[in-house]
A = this chain, B = another copy of it.
Amino acid sequence: MIDVCFTYSELQDTCGKLSVIIDTLRATTTIITALNNGARYIIPVETVNEASKQKNVYKDALLGGERKGLKIDGFDLGNSPLEYSKDIVSGSGIIFTTTNGTRAIKSALGSKIILAALINSKAVSDYIKSAGNEITIVCSGTKGRFTMEDTYTAGCIISKTARYDLTDSAFAAKCLYESMNKDPEFLYKTCTHLKYLVNKGFKEDIMYSLKEDTTETIPFYIDGKIIRDI
């Protein structure tokens, strides 16, 4: 059965399951991009304070992340996937904190955890096809509420698996994607968080993040670190 949680607070028992964490705008898109561009590992943390503590342990790591969409004071990088280019991140570790995405990743502890976005949706759907029965797709949401772009991404992945053992929420996500991907402007019209980021000047991030299947990289979260394809 494939299930979709629209926010990570809905997540119940994930023990022994595969959890697929989505924060399309922008945390998981950024993490996938960083690993694809040669970052060695990413350590997701929930607070700026915890990021500083990890920096004392991993002294060579870059500090990345956002609050209210913007780079945190004293950090090397924000939460824009376009900042995480090969020349900046190749060979480096990254300590990373965002408002919703890193919390969603932490909420699924106890399960096998992978990260997804539109840019790796086909690779994730292929992985799911062979991953056994119990799969929970976890949308990060925004401030504890449903977000269109994460659910659209969940639906994109489910649609590509061609699996039909779906809960009601998984059916809804699939239906949203399949009816709306015919209208390329749909997300621009309906996503509150997307409009918020456009207003902050991140239009290019959005164009990058909404493009499907530009990479096959799948991040795995294991023992506190996110690494590439195990």
Contacts and interface: CB of A to CB of B under 8 A. Distances in A.
Interface of A: 6, 10, 144-148, 151, 166-169, 171-172, 175-176, 178-180, 190-193
A25 to B, nearest CB: 12
Contacts of A190: 166, 168, 171-172, 175
Contact of A148 (B6, B168, B178): B168
Given A6-B6, A148-B168, A172-B176, 17 more contacts: A10-B144, A10-B145, A145-B167, A145-B169, A146-B167, A146-B168, A146-B169, A148-B171, A166-B190, A168-B191, A168-B193, A171-B190, A172-B172, A175-B176, A175-B180, A178-B179, A179-B179
A21 to B, nearest CB: 18
B148 A172 contact: yes
Summarize A's interface: helix, strand, loop or mixed.
Answer: helix
A7 to B, nearest CB: 8
A178 B183 CA distance: 14
Please name the 4 residue pairs, one residue from A and one from B, whose CB atoms are nearest each other, closest first: A179-B179, A171-B190, A146-B169, A148-B168
Contacts of A176: 172, 175-176
Contacts of A171: 148, 190
Contacts of A168: 145-148, 190-193
A45 B166 CA distance: 33
